[in-house]
Amino acid sequence: MAIAGQYSVETDSRSIPAAMQAAVYRGVNDVRLETVPVPKIGPGEMLVRVHSCGVCGTDLKKISTGSHSAPRIFGHETSGVVATVGKDVTEYRPGDRVMVFHHIPCRECFYCRNKTFAQCATYKKVGCTAGFEPSGGGFAEYVRVMDWIVQYGTVRIPESVSFEQACFVEPVNTCLKGIYAMNLRPGETVLTIGQGPIGIILSVLAKRAGATLITSDLYPERLKIGSSFGLDLTIEASRTNVVERVRELTQGRGADAVILAVGGNSLIRTAMDAARPGGRILLFAQTQHGEAVIDPAAICVDEKALVGSYSASVDLQKESVGFVMNREMDLERLISHRFPLSEITEAIDLAAHPQPSSMKVVIQPGSLWEGTQQ
Ligand SMILES: [Zn+2]
Ligand SMILES: [Zn+2]
């Protein structure tokens, strides 16, 4: 069982405890480690023992703004092992290594027919929970996976791929959706502002689509990590004027497309200025409603287009799974910090206040995995 057994973990359904540890959201900026019941599963459902769950910007937003009612258990970039399966589940059995999506659309309603899956009512219903109002549940030892997710939103992890690599399937899908939204043509020049883990994934995917990449970030440490993924044309935004430098590199025109992978609204103007007339600007991290300053003539006269993209697309599931599981990108290398559930507060704090050398933060309900591989 050399490679084959490397990441396999057996689970005996009789050994499932009645209670587990979970990080419970109790209100704005209040997430606590609590003991909660292990979720019960029904017919067609599965219980998955969580190995790794990425901390996502949208989790941080929900926790810091109180946009969702409490209590909830967040976490939706989940990979782990099937612990037990409900009646009628034939596709999976205990011990199978899987990653699970938390949102899967119906594919039949008005929005699905128009391919705006994120607006579908079934899509908005969350299909994974560790208790309370379903909210992903990955920040817990076990997660209940509901029937439509078992059918359409569960992905088997090949034995040669780690749980850590696999927990990137959902974020990669959301990035791929953003790349398609820009309609990149081979040979186009793309500027990505922000080289956190998502900015790096977006840049690698844009390059894969045939674009020439320029990346910028305030921190040289991040640009260096980006370079290790083949993103060599970098701008250190703390020293160099990004818009001027991009124009220099593009015969004075500006980038054909600009990806804004930094939250908040303060860089929207920079992103628009760095795009050439007729160029596209992808707002990828602007998840909060509010007001922003936009130059209307840049859109009307200069014909620049603002493009948005949010969440994952079921149409891109196959491609994103292939990208991750075939290791087209060594995504594990983007993980800079791994925290046990007991350090959930530190994990959220670090993810919310990224340091120059911090990248992806993942939660690993550790005690269950002693002696096993990542
Ligand atoms: Zn996410
Ligand atoms: Zn639908």
Digit-coded pLDDT (tens) for 219-256: 999 999 999 999 999 999 999 999 999 999 999 999 99
Q: How far is the CA of 56 from the centre of ligand 1 (A)?
A: 5
Instruction: Give the integer Cα–Cα distance in Å for 121 and 127.
Output: 12
Q: Which residues are near ligand 1, the ion (C-beta closer than 5 Å)?
A: 56
Give, for 372, the enclosing helix (H) or strand (E).
none
Q: Which ligand is nearest to the CA of 112?
A: 2
The alpha carbon of 48 and the centre of ligand 2 are apart by a number of angstroms equal to: 26
Q: How far is the CA of 266 from the centre of ligand 1 (A)?
A: 22
| Cα 247 to ligand 1 centroid, rounded to whole Å | 33
Q: Which ligand is nearest to the CA of 108?
A: 2
CA–CA dist 96, 328 (Å, integer): 23
Q: Residue 119: its pLDDT value, please?
A: 87
Distance 104 CA to ligand 1 centre (A): 14
Across 293-303, average pLDDT: 94
Give the integer Cα–Cα distance in Å for 45 and 154. Answer: 11
What is the CA angle 140-144-149, rounded to 5?
125
The whole-number pLDDT of residue 371 equals 47
Task: Output the CA 1–ligand 1 centroid distance in Å.
Answer: 34
Cα 223 to Cα 192, 196, 197, 229: the distances in Å are 11, 9, 11, 10
Instruction: Give the Å distance between the CA of 334 and the centre of ligand 1.
Output: 15
99 alpha carbon – ligand 1 mean position (Å)? 13
Q: Which residues contact 194 (CB under 8 A, 6 or more apart)?
A: 216, 217, 260, 261, 262, 267, 285
State the average pLDDT over residues 319-340: 97
Determine the pLDDT at residue 184: 97
Band of the pLDDT at 205, cuts 50, 70, 90? Answer: very high
Ligand 1 centroid from CA 60, angstroms: 10
* Distance in Å, CA 57 to ligand 1 centroid: 7
Our CA dihedral for 49, 319, 330, 238, rounded to 10 degrees, sits at: -110
Its pTM stands at: 0.91
Q: Residue 12 — pLDDT band, cuts 50, 70, 90?
A: low
Ligand 1 centroid to Cα of residue 168, in Å, is: 9
State in Å: Cα 201 to ligand 1 middle.
13
Helix (H, G, I), strand (E, B) or coil at 307: strand
- Mean pLDDT score, 305-328: 94
- Span from the CA of 119 to the centroid of ligand 1 (angstroms): 16
CA of 153 to the centre of ligand 2 (A): 14
C-alpha of residue 315 to centroid of ligand 2, in Å: 13
Q: Could you say which ligand is closest to the alpha carbon of residue 109?
A: 2
Q: What is the predicted pLDDT for the residue at 14? A: 61
- Asked if residue 373 has pLDDT above 80, the reply is no
Nearest ligand for residue 122 CA: 2
65 SS3 class: helix
Please report the domains of the chain, with CATH numbers, ordered by start residue.
13-161+327-369 (3.90.180.10), 180-308 (3.40.50.720)
Q: What average pLDDT does the structure give for the chain?
A: 92
Q: Specify the 3-state DSSP secondary structure of 281.
A: strand
* pLDDT one-digit tens code per residue, 153-188: 999 999 999 999 999 999 999 999 999 999 999 999
What pLDDT score was predicted for residue 116? 85
